[in-house]
Amino acid sequence: MASSCMGIGGEGSAPAAPHVLAVDDSSVDRAVITGILRSSKFRVTAVDSAKRALELLGSVCGLTEPQIISRFRNFRFLCCIACAITYSCIGLQGANVSMIITDYWMPDMTGYELLKKVKESSKLREIPVVIMSSENVPTRINRCLEEGAEDFLLKPVRRSDVSRLCSRVLP
């Protein structure tokens, strides 16, 4: 099972482990989901809010790279270049994220709202998004699935849930 989770189809070279972005405002839940994902041989980045997730994905309120650079015009020249390089490295490729797994209920921006933003973005919409929640609310689940969520997991998330996801979501 671990080998089927490795890589996203390298071409001759050793495939890199898929990179999963985990989003949860609870430090306990972040630690648990990170542990589960790492034990399934994923690379994990865990953030505590949807806003941070979007920053990492390079979305930054939908700004294009030239717009980002122009926003930094007032800063020193080096800072400008550093930002341009950073955004071109991670922004345009969406930080090479193979899957997003997010808590539903978070202050400021919910997992559902994050899902919508991802699916609205031409850069990001192909990334599978999985929602987690400790509450079993059918209308909530349906709404997320209709919006394009790959799956909806009830917390506490188990290793078996993640293995099942892996075989379905990743090639």
Partner 1 sequence: MQRTKGYLDEQFCQIEDLQDETSPNFAEEVVSLFFKDSVRLVTNIEQAMEKYPEDFNRWDAHMQQLKGSCYSIGASKMNNECTLFRNNCGQENAEGCMRSFQKVKREHAILRQKLESYFQLLRQAGPAGTATRPAGK
Q: Which of 8, 16, 31, 79 is close enough to bind partner 1 by CB under 8 A?
A: 31
Binder of partner 1 out of 1, 4, 10, 27 (CB under 8 A): 27
**Per rule CB under 8 A, is residue 36 in the interface with partner 1?**
yes
User: Which of 83, 4, 100 is closest to 45 using CA atoms?
Assistant: 100
CB 90 within 8 A of CB 56: yes
Q: Return phi, psi of residue 97, to 5°.
A: -90, 125
| Three-state SS at 2 | helix
Which two three-digit tokens encode residue 162?
Answer: 């993640």
Does residue 39 belong to the site contacting partner 1 (CB under 8 A)?
Answer: yes
Asked if 78 is part of the footprint of partner 1 (rule: CB under 8 A), the reply reads: no
Contact criterion met (CB below 8 Å) for 53 and 115 = no
Residue 15 is a binding residue for partner 1 (CB under 8 A)? no
- Of 9, 13, 28, 146, the one binding partner 1 (CB under 8 A) is 28
List interacting residues with partner 1 (CB under 8 A): 26-29, 31-32, 35-36, 38-39, 134, 155-156, 158-159
